[in-house]
Amino acid sequence: MRLATEKIDTIYASDLLRASETAKIIAAKHQLAAVTCAELREINFGQIEGLTFTEVSQLYPEVVELWRKGSPRLKYPGGESLNQLARRVGKFLDRLKKHTPEATILIVAHSGVLRTLIRCLLGLGPRYLRQFRLDLASLSILETYPQGAIINLLNDTSHLKGVDD
């Protein structure tokens, strides 16, 4: 199975608005329907959702400390832990395994989910989650094989050049 933008066989998207709307636009150009999946939602930030980093630092210094350390013990107050996110993404990976090896799959989701997905496909442990930077609207391409995955492109935003100029 490959994740790319050539002949797309299936488009999966987070069921949250920004990702699902983006997926619908892409799907229409390929005469496909986007399949929305709750497993592709961004991590639930709980009580810190919408707060600035300064506010989080003041209200939840223990969360900031665990975040800075990249600790797998990080759990957002009233939200999810990194382990819960990884389990949710793992359920989505099980769905991907049902596709044929030749299938081209496009996934429209959020940074934390995509970084977790890439980490899992590469066989890397949780401590590597923050080793990947994924900007908004970036494109990454991975080819997957029974032995593992290969990154062909990571965090490409060249298609956005000139958009806001």
Residue 50, token pair as written in the block: 């919408």
Residue 35, SS3?
strand
Q: Which of 56, 79, 102 lies at the terminal end of a domain, its last residue?
A: 79
Which pLDDT does position 114 carry in this prediction?
A: 97
Which pLDDT does position 164 carry in this prediction?
A: 65
Extract long-range pairs of 131-137: CB within 8 Å, 24+ residues apart: 136/111, 137/22
Which pLDDT does position 129 carry in this prediction?
A: 86
Going by the DSSP 8-state scheme, the letter that residue 44 receives in this structure is: -
**Counted domains in the chain:** 2
Residue 120, SS3?
helix
8 located within any domain: yes
Which pLDDT does position 39 carry in this prediction?
A: 97
Residue 106, token pair as written in the block: 């496009």
Q: Which of 79, 100, 126 lies at the terminal end of a domain, its last residue?
A: 79
122 located within any domain: yes
User: 10 pairs with which residues across the strands?
Assistant: 105
Do 63 and 123 share a structural domain?
no
Which pLDDT does position 2 carry in this prediction?
A: 42
User: pLDDT per residue over 144-156, tens digit each?
Assistant: 988 889 999 999 9
Which pLDDT does position 91 carry in this prediction?
A: 96
Do 49 and 35 share a structural domain?
no
Do 151 and 127 share a structural domain?
yes
Which pLDDT does position 33 carry in this prediction?
A: 96
Q: What is the CATH number of the domain that holds 90?
A: 3.40.50.1240
Do 111 and 38 share a structural domain?
yes
Cα(149)–Cα(78) distance, rounded to whole angstroms? 34
Do 142 and 90 share a structural domain?
yes
Do 117 and 39 share a structural domain?
yes
Do 97 and 31 share a structural domain?
yes
- Give the chain's residues under pLDDT 50: 1-5
Do 133 and 110 share a structural domain?
yes
In 3D, which of 127, 133, 112 has the Cα closest to residue 69? 127
In 3D, which of 16, 24, 126 has the Cα closest to residue 69? 126
Residues 6+ apart with CB under 8 A from 41: 14, 15, 16, 88, 110, 113
Which pLDDT does position 101 carry in this prediction?
A: 86
165 located within any domain: no
Do 28 and 101 share a structural domain?
yes
Which pLDDT does position 126 carry in this prediction?
A: 85
Range of the domain at 57: 44-79
Which pLDDT does position 6 carry in this prediction?
A: 67
